[in-house]
Amino acid sequence: MSTETDIVAYIQEAEFDALLSEQKVVVVDFTATWCGPCRLVSPLMDQLAQEYKGRVKVVKVDVDNNKPMFKKFGLRSIPAVLIFKDGELAETIVGVSPYEQFSNAVDKLL
């Protein structure tokens, strides 16, 4: 069993566009180390990554290191989970939500 931090990798803005073009469905968790609610969403992202392995790519973006990316999507608060399909933003879930809200959003896109 790998450590939990390995399941969902952090990406930088430079990798983002390539990722969107390579993967059909991408789930992006905008997070920060100082954000308490983000820690509640993190295990849900790990669960999502495992449940949809091979079908959906789940990644994290540290907003402190990627402010332009955060602003680009008009986000004001975290945690914010953005779900992209075929490179287009399909769903935005802001705040702490139950796992089903994330999985249902992904199911709709598959």
Q: At a CB cut-off of 8 Å and minimum separation 6, what does 12 contact?
A: 65, 66
Catalytic residues: 35, 38
What's the pLDDT at 7? Answer: 76
Q: 2 pLDDT exceeds 90?
A: no
Specify the pLDDT at position 6. Answer: 52
* In the chain, % of residues over pLDDT 70: 95
- pTM, to two decimals: 0.92
The string of pLDDT tens digits covering residues 8-56 is 999 998 899 999 999 999 999 999 999 999 999 999 999 999 999 999 9
State both tokens at 3.
């450590």
- What structural domains and CATH numbers belong to the chain? 4-109 (3.40.30.10)
